[in-house]
Each structure stands twice: as C-alpha cells, then as structure tokens.
Amino acid sequence: MRRFPRFHPRRSTAAHRAIRAWRTTRVGIVGIVGIVGASVAGCGAGSSEPDAPSLEDTKAQALTTYAAIVRANYADSRSGAVDLRDACDALVASPSQATLDDARAAWLAAREPYLQTEVFRFYDGPIDAADSGPEGLMNAWPLDEVYIDYVEGAPDAGIINDPTVTIDAETLVALNEMGGEKNIATGYHAVEFLLWGQDTSPDGPGDRPFTDYRTDGSGTAANQDRRGEYLGVTADLLVEHHDYLVAAWAAETAEDYANVFFSGSHDETLTRVFTGMYLLSGFETGGERLQPAFDFGDQEDEHSCFSDNTHRDFIQDLRGVQNVYVGRYVRLDGTVVEGTGLMDVLAAVDAELAEELDARIATSLTLAEAIIPPFDQEILQENMAGRQRLYDLIVSLRDQADLLEQAFLALDLQIPNTEPW
C-alpha cells in the first residue's frame, strides 16, 4: 500500500512530467523575454512581503547553521574518539575488567556523536570524497575479523597473530584495502571487535576476556602484546581521521572544504545537504541496513554486531537528520548550536510539506527509539512484535525519503552533473 499520493508510481511519473513541462515552459519564457527585450524584467519582484527575509537570505542562514552544526558535531565526535583512545591505552597498560569496561563504555559513548555526523555523507564531502575521504578507514562494515585476529576455530588467524607484519598506522592503513574495498583492518568496528570479540552468544554481545591483553604470561590467546599495539594504533587512527575532518571544515584556507562548500550557489550547496539527508534516510538506513536484516532475519547481519549497539546506530543517524533539518544540535556538554534550519527554507516554499517532513522525521526517531535492544533479537523470525517495530520504522523511513524527494522538487534542486568529457 502506498501511503502518499506522490508515492504512487503512476502519479509519481505524472508529477515528474508536470514538473518537467513546467521547467521547460519557464525556460521557454525566459528565452522569449531575452529575445523580445528585458524591459519587463522585475515586474513581479514586488510581490513578496517587505519584512520577510528573502528566500536567498533564508538559504544562506540555513547553510551557515548547517556548517556550524557540522563543526560542532565533528568536534564532539573527535573528543569521543580521544576519550576512546585514552581508554584503550589504559586497558593495554593495565588490563583488568575495569579498564576493559571503561574502554567499552568509551566506545559506546564515542559512537553517539559520530553517528550523528553520518548525515554529512553521500555528497562527496570530506568524509567520503572518492579519493581522500576517510570513511572507509573509520566506519566500514562488515569487518573481516579473520583478517585481524583469532576467531572461533582459527586460533592463529589474523595480522595480530602474524609476527611478520609490523603493526603501525601506515601498515594498517595499507592493509585496510584489498580487492577494492576498505573494510578490513581499521575503524570503529575493528576497535569494537578488539574490545568485545566475536559475538557468538545467542542473546548477548561478544565476550572477549581482558586477559587477551595481559602480557605477563597469564594472558589468554596468543600475541597479547601485538593485540594491544593493534588496538592502540587503530584507536589513534580514529583520532587522526577526526583531525582531518575538523580541519577540512575549519574554513581557514581557501582549499578547506568549508570554503568549497560555500563557493557554489545556494541551491548547489542545499542539494548536497538534502542529498545527505535523502540517502541516509531511505537508501542507507531504511534500505541497505534495515531491509536485509528484516528480510532475512540473520542474527548477526547488523552493523555493531560485536557490542550489540546497532539500535543506537539507527537512533543517532536519524537524530543527525533531524539536527540539520531543524537547525539545532545539542553538544556533548549540553550547549546548543542552533539557527535557521533547512526546515525554514522548505517552509518558505511549501509550509505544509515542511511540517509534514518535520513530523515524519520525529516519528521515525520515535520508532527507532522503540526498538528493543539487542537488535539481533528484534529481527528473528519468531519475534513477531520486534519485526513489526522494524517494519514500521522501514515504512516510516520510506515515507521520509519520499517527502525529501518532494522537498527536492519543491525547492527545484538538482545536483549539477559535471560537463561531459
């Protein structure tokens, strides 16, 4: 069942056609005015309210708010990564249940701000630009566990148990990529695996003992020292990659992305921003992450499978969408970054659509918060209620993506394609 008129395939095509015809007509008229003479240009300009900010001003303000949210969010995420690195260092220096628990808590805390930054993906910005973006080194999934450390049935597996491989940042970055994918050696999920271990338990997270890091001869598994080095290096790399992101958005030099971001027209920049929201909502979260888990009910087909933290992925990803839409981000220290939001831009052209999208994002967030962790139990075929909760979220995210499509159309946004070569 389609839920919005716009979502019906035939009407959708008709709507597109109408809009295309409208655009063509407008171009035609501009062309004719150009030929006949531009003396009538500006006739319609007096129709807007004198006191209301112009649409272009609203766009400029919203983009300024967006960039401020990006900076604050990456700064918070960096601070989470620093705490995580320090906690990992403490675990390695003095392995105990307490230091392991602290490191796990630091990992969970670091994910909270990072996940909210995922809405800054998908438009070839600093995080995932084709050649330079560190996303694949920071957050790629699924992790190739056997490539890193021992797993059940393979006690000698992985880089950690291969003393011929030097463990340093350069090597791990180089080893992260093979066969065209960057998913195997570094990032949050590598750290997660090193803190929790494989999740082989039917109803709990992984259970790596802290003694995997004990180097006094009483440790478990082999190569505890190398495991500690690996953990330290990957956690440190996360900080390094955050440094890159913070610098890219700093707007200190002309090459910094923040300047590139503002160098195009407002519409080009808005298109990037809406593309991030659109693809994260429907394509990534509702589609690529939730749909297969729901579809197949495979217990470990989830992003944070070692820690059983996947439900937070959904919540914080969607909170990131909400942050940029309403123009309000609550920092780790409780202070608030806020200003004109994208919602204000959309409201200026279609107030009803703006409200509808606002309500939809809030509903999606509520539905994500309703997921009962662990996620890997919600998806099981026998958990009818859990599956219903996931289904409701998937449907809501599809609607959210549809409303975002309508926002593209309402604002007449289109990513300019590069010139044919």
Instruction: Considering only residues 300 through 339, tell me which ones interact with another protein, judged by CB under 8 A.
Output: 300-301, 305-306
Using the rule CB under 8 A, is 292 a contact of another protein?
A: yes
Site track for another protein across 26-65, x = CB under 8 A: x-xx--------------x---------------------
Instruction: Give the count of residues interacting with another protein (CB under 8 A).
Output: 75
Using the rule CB under 8 A, is 254 a contact of another protein?
A: no
Q: Among residues 163 and 252, whose Cβ is nearest to another protein?
A: 163
Stretch that binds another protein, among 102-110, 121-129, 337-345, 351-359 (CB under 8 A): 121-129
Using the rule CB under 8 A, is 157 a contact of another protein?
A: yes
Q: Among residues 72 and 411, whose Cβ is nearest to another protein?
A: 411
**Min. distance of Cβ 79 from another protein in angstroms?**
29
Distance of CA 177 to the CA centre of its chain: 21
Selected binder of another protein within 33, 93, 178, 372 (CB under 8 A): 178
Stretch that binds another protein, among 95-103, 175-183, 216-224, 335-343 (CB under 8 A): 175-183
Task: Show the 3-state SS of the chain.
Answer: CCCCHHHCHHHHHHHHHHHHHHHHHHHHHHHHHHHHCHHHCCHHHHHCCCCCCCHHHHHHHHHHHHHHHHHHHHHHHHHHHHHHHHHHHHHHHCCCHHHHHHHHHHHHHHHHHHHHHHHHCCCCCCCCCCCCCCHHHHCCCCCCHHHHCCECCECCCCHHHCCCCCCCHHHHHHHCEECCEECCCCCHHHHHHHHHCCCCCCCCCCCCCHHHHCCCCCCCCCCHHHHHHHHHHHHHHHHHHHHHHHHHCCCCCCCCHHHHHCCCCHHHHHHHHHHHHHHHHHHHHHHHHHHHHHHHCCCCCCCCCCCCCHHHHHHHHHHHHHHHHHCEEECCCCCEEECCCHHHHHHHHCHHHHHHHHHHHHHHHHHHHCCCCCHHHHCCCCCHHHHHHHHHHHHHHHHHHHHHHHHHHHCCCCCCCCCCC
Using the rule CB under 8 A, is 213 a contact of another protein?
A: no
Instruction: Considering only residues 192 through 211, tell me which ones interact with another protein, judged by CB under 8 A.
Output: 198-200, 206
Using the rule CB under 8 A, is 2 a contact of another protein?
A: yes
Using the rule CB under 8 A, is 253 a contact of another protein?
A: no
Instruction: Considering only residues 359 through 418, tell me which ones interact with another protein, judged by CB under 8 A.
Output: 394, 398, 405, 408, 414-415, 417-418
Selected binder of another protein within 65, 77, 99, 183 (CB under 8 A): 183
Stretch that binds another protein, among 90-98, 119-127, 238-246, 252-260 (CB under 8 A): 119-127
Using the rule CB under 8 A, is 166 a contact of another protein?
A: no
Using the rule CB under 8 A, is 16 a contact of another protein?
A: yes
**Min. distance of Cβ 122 from another protein in angstroms?**
7
**Min. distance of Cβ 153 from another protein in angstroms?**
6
CB 224 within 8 A of CB 163: no
Q: How many CB atoms lie within 10 A of CB 243?
A: 14
Using the rule CB under 8 A, is 155 a contact of another protein?
A: no
Q: Among residues 76 and 402, whose Cβ is nearest to another protein?
A: 402
**Min. distance of Cβ 30 from another protein in angstroms?**
10
Using the rule CB under 8 A, is 262 a contact of another protein?
A: no
